[in-house]
Every structure is written in structure tokens, then in C-alpha cells.
Chains A and B, each alone.
Chain A
Amino acid sequence: MSEALELGINALRGQMDTRAMSYFSSCVRCGICAEACLFYTETGDARYTPIYKTEPLRKLWKREYTFWGKLASKMGLLKPMTESDLSDWEELVYDGCSMCSRCSMVCPVGVDIAYLIRKAKEGLSAAGFSPADLVAAGERADRIGSPMGVTSHTLNATIRVQEKETGLPVPLDVQGAEYLVLLSSGEIAGFPEFIGSLAKIFKATGISWTLSSEYFEATNTGVQLGNSKLAAKLVERIVTVAEKLDIKTVVSPECGHAYTTIRWDAPNFIGRPLPFNVVHVMELLDQLRQQGRLKTKGYTEERLSYHDPCNAGRRGGVLDQPRNLLKMVAPNFVELPESGDMNWCCGGGGGVSSNERANPLRLKVFDAKKRQLDAAKPEGLVTACSNCRHMLEDGLEHNHMYDVELLGVTELIAEHLVDGDEA
């Protein structure tokens, strides 16, 4: 057995739990999951069937955790797992799955297929069968603190520009602030207005907040790779910074997997409860709205729709909040068909967006999104995830859909904000 294979199999063994075994014992191979998966519906390629992507883990389960499997492998009737049982799945798991969990919502026996794919990723990444781009992003995240190589210098420069534009200070490393706001590298590089918008909103609502220059990254490449060790290391950095600054609540920015990671997975990665609360920026803004602290003026006449980021919505439970906020300023809001917890993914989740090799496939499966947009015909598409926004931009461009404008919820609210002084 090669070293890579052994590492992979050991990692898979470490993933086996009652939940996974229960899932494998329930699956009746009905194929309904395929009908929910954009990688299957848009390509027609049966190999993209969600449950098929879990084969590496299922093969191990069969060999080592079932009666016939154990018997047959002892008698030498069952072929031992080979390296290709892992390597052949790299493309399916990393390029052909965005971890959107739409399949998990429709399985009649209740298998959370995304949960199993996430576990299979642990085996593949331990064996070294992960896309080079994603591995490199992971290395950068580990070394620099950002998968895109955004340094604290870049952050400082961005902050200065935003301070100049808004005329408001952006607090940095403030000891004892109520909220610590995390950012994604994609936001800093692509949508820096998010920072200025927050400064405006927090000023108007009287919130004490801060950014951290020591560690600001909300995304977690360890999760996308399926490398829990790296994931835990990156989470620990957030915990250290938050503890140092004595933070009560950590705010996840407009990013899907960043939110599920820090809100739901982080304590399990580090093996202890978090010493602070976590909210998605949508949750925070909606709380402020409910408390009557967040007030808006004027409306946009545009026909807006909301694209649910899979991780924030389906896997994170942030579904109503952005809609409540949008309805404050967009009376012509219209739902996409199959939105909410059954929304179609932008195609770039789960690390697909960082994996250049997967671009043609990602743009092909964007057809699912295109169908939704063609049906609802919105003039503007709002989302609460900078990665989704990048992917939507790319997909719209690819399909020459130039008349759909892309927006972030936070900026939209900031544009219509009633200033603290005005009120």
C-alpha cells in the first residue's frame, strides 16, 4: 500500500461515525439526489450524482464496517482499496461539487449527502488528491493569513480609501469593542465598499465595533480542502484575536462558508465552545432593524431578487433576515423560483471558485442559475456572499446577461440609511 493511500484511508477511518454509517445503511440508490444537483442536471453526466461522490468513504465502510464486506475482504474476495479509488474521485468531489447541500434537502431516507462528501474530502486531501490551486490557497492562508495573499498592508490601504470616501473612521484593533467584524479576502479585493457601508451603518446605529489587523480573514480554506487540521488552525487564530481584544460577538461578513465555519463548525474543529457569540452580518442588521435602530429612507424602484448563498441559507439558517432587510428598501422585490432553502447554487462554493481547472464546468452548470433568472427576470440580483457575487458576475458575463445588476445587501441598506443625526 502506497503511503498516499494509507494516509487517505486512515483519514477516512477517522471520519466514520454513527451518522455516516446510518446514512450508508439507509441509502437505497434511488438517484433522486442527482435530480437536485446542478452538476448533474446541467451536464447530464451520471458521475456527478451526489451519492456517487461519496464512494471513497462508502467503499471503506463496506470493507471494514459491514458483515459481508469484512467477511469478503478476509477471504480475499473483495479487492482492497487502491489509490485510484481516491484519485479518480478528485475531479468529482472538488470540481463537480460545490457543497451546496441541495441534495441533502431532497433525500427521501434523509441522508445528508453533503456531510458524507465533506468526509470523503478528508480522505482525498490527506492522500494528496486535491486540486493544486486549492492546495496553494490553503498554503497561503496558513502562511499569510489569506488564501488570496491579502496582507495587513492591503487591508490598511483599503481601510484608508474607505475612510476617505465615507468620511468616517474605521476602527482597527479596538480593545473591548462589542463586535469584531471579520472580512473575506474577496471582499477586500473586490467589494471594499462593504467596509465603508458597515462604518456608516454602525455609526448610525451606535454600535461599537472593530476590525483586527492581526487576523481578519473569515474564509477557511481548510474547510474547502477537507483538511480539518488546517481548518482548526485558522479558526484558532480568530479565537486568539477575539480573546485578545475581549470581544463579545464576532460578525461574519457577506460570505457563506465563512459563516457556517465560524458559527457552526468552529467549536467542533477546536474541540471546545467558542468564548464569544457569532452572527452573520445579515442577522446583526436584522436585529438592529427589529430593535428599531436601523432605519432607511427612500426606495429603489428596481425589481430586485435575492440569491441565497447555500452556506448562509441552506446550511446556516440565514434565510429570512436578508429578505426582511431588502423589503425595507425594495418594494418591487421578487423571489426567484426555487429560492430559499432550495435555491440553486452559483456553482462556485466548496472551493470550486478557487480551482481554475473547474472553470468551464462551473460556467456550464451556471445554466441552472440562468434558468431561475430567466423566469423571474429581475433587474438587480442581491446576495449576501462575496464569493457568490464574484461567481454570479462571471456567470452573467459568460452568458451576456448584461442587464442584471449585482448588489450586496449591506451596501444597499447603507445607501438608504437614515443617519443617526437625521433621526
Chain B
Amino acid sequence: MAKLRIRKSNHAMNRSLGGDIGINLVLLVMGAFMFLPMLYTVMQSLKPLDELWQYPPRFFVRNPTLGNFSTLLNLMGSSWVPFSRYIFNTAFVSIIGTVGNVFLSSMAAYSISKMKFPGKKMLFKFVVWSLMFHTTVTAITNFWTMSKIGFVDTYLARIVPACATSMGLYLMKQFMDSSVPNSVLESARLDGASEIRVFWQIAMPMVKPAWLTLVVFCFKDLWNAGSSIYIYSEQYKSFNYAIQQIVTGGISRQGAGAASTVIMMLVPILVFVITQSNIIETMSTSGMKD
């Protein structure tokens, strides 16, 4: 079972003082490089117009205002399709896609990890192999497939492919391999529980960290999705796409643009903060054998 080790003391062997200082210095510099642009986004979103166009530019805001956020709300009110529709689209696709992916991936992962039947190794190899290429390779051809089965310009174009990600199956399977003891499943089977019941009532509660991880990974992808080549109609487009459209409308909208970015980034960050320890536990089992 993958258990995280919490180190008891920070002082360990083989640690020189110079090395400690060097490491902390590098962390400080890199941390600043990672963090300051994020902070700058928040600062920009809080700046009133005159501070946004100030010369020389300042990093920190002097008179913070929520004006940019209300400008953003006003801009939303003047969009083609009622703005709530875009929010609904993103929420709907994110939730259904995430739930679908967690269900389908864990079903398949359980089957491959805990049951024995011909062909399962090969099926898993396909998934590992597909981790090696990015979806840009498949996007164009999928457009053809989707037009043949009538998915183009529907919610299905976004939801269905998101329901079976190779990452989802891979993480679930690796975690089940190391965290669900076969003996527990075996005794449940001997008690006469059906395979579906063993999966749902015994295995699934034991892999909670893995499906929480999958929820985060899947949700952040769907939440952040912008324009899609499979969607033409305005009423199916995503929140991220719409917000991009209105904030790129003019230079005076820079503040509103920053405000929209802040709104977009808050949700995935919040979800990650809540689930962090579960995610780290899952990733510790994600290793790949040569």
C-alpha cells in the first residue's frame, strides 16, 4: 500500500550547510519566477484605469478597486448569447465529462488490474503507448470521425472523448495495482459478492485518492478548454472562449482581461488545494516500468 512518509526531522545525514543555503537560494529565485507573474495578474485585475496606464508601470496596486470585475460583468451582459449560457456550457461539459471519465476509467482499470482474462495486457499496452502522443495529432482526423457520427456542433463532441482518457485509465490502474490487496477482493468473492459489487463497494472506496486526482486533472482540462474545432454554434461555446472574445475587444479592456483570468484560475487552484495530499499519494504510484 502506498503510504506517504512524513519526515520526522528536517535534519538529515549528508547535508552540508553550503548546500542547504544554495538550495534555498535556487528555490527562492525559481519560486519568484513562478509566483510573481501570478501575483502580477491579480495586481493588474485590481488596478484602476489610471494605474494600468501609468508610466513607469508599477508592480503593486496602490488603490485597489473591483472596477475591472464590474466592467467584466457589464461586458458579459452585452454578449450575443446570454452569458449564463457559456457558464452553463462549461459547467455542464466539465461535470459530465469528469464524472464520465472517473466512472469509465475506474471500471476499465479494475477489470485490467484485478481480473484475469485473455488480451488485457495488450489492451493496457495500447493505453501506455497512447500516453506518448499529444492530442494535436488526433484532432484533425477526429473532426472527420465526428462529422460521420454526427457529433460536430453538439455537446457530445466535447464530452465523449473526455470520458475515456488514457491518463485516467493509467493512473487508476497503477493505483489499484498497489493499493487494493487482492486478498480482500478474493474473500469478498468467496462470500458470494458479484464482480460488479466487489468493484463498486470494495475497490472503489479504497482508491479514493486516485479518483479525486482524476477529478482534478479532468476537471481542469475541461474547465480551461477554449475554442474547439468541433463547435461552430455560439450557444455551445465555452466560458473560456467567450471571456477571451470579450476581453480581446480593445486595449481599454486589459483590466477586465486580467479580472477574467483571475476568475478562471481561481477554480482549478482551489480544487487542487483541497485535494493536494490525495493527488500526491496517487502520483506516487504512477511510475512506469521499462
Q: Do A and B bind each other?
A: no
> Which A residues contact B (CB, under 8 angstroms)?
none
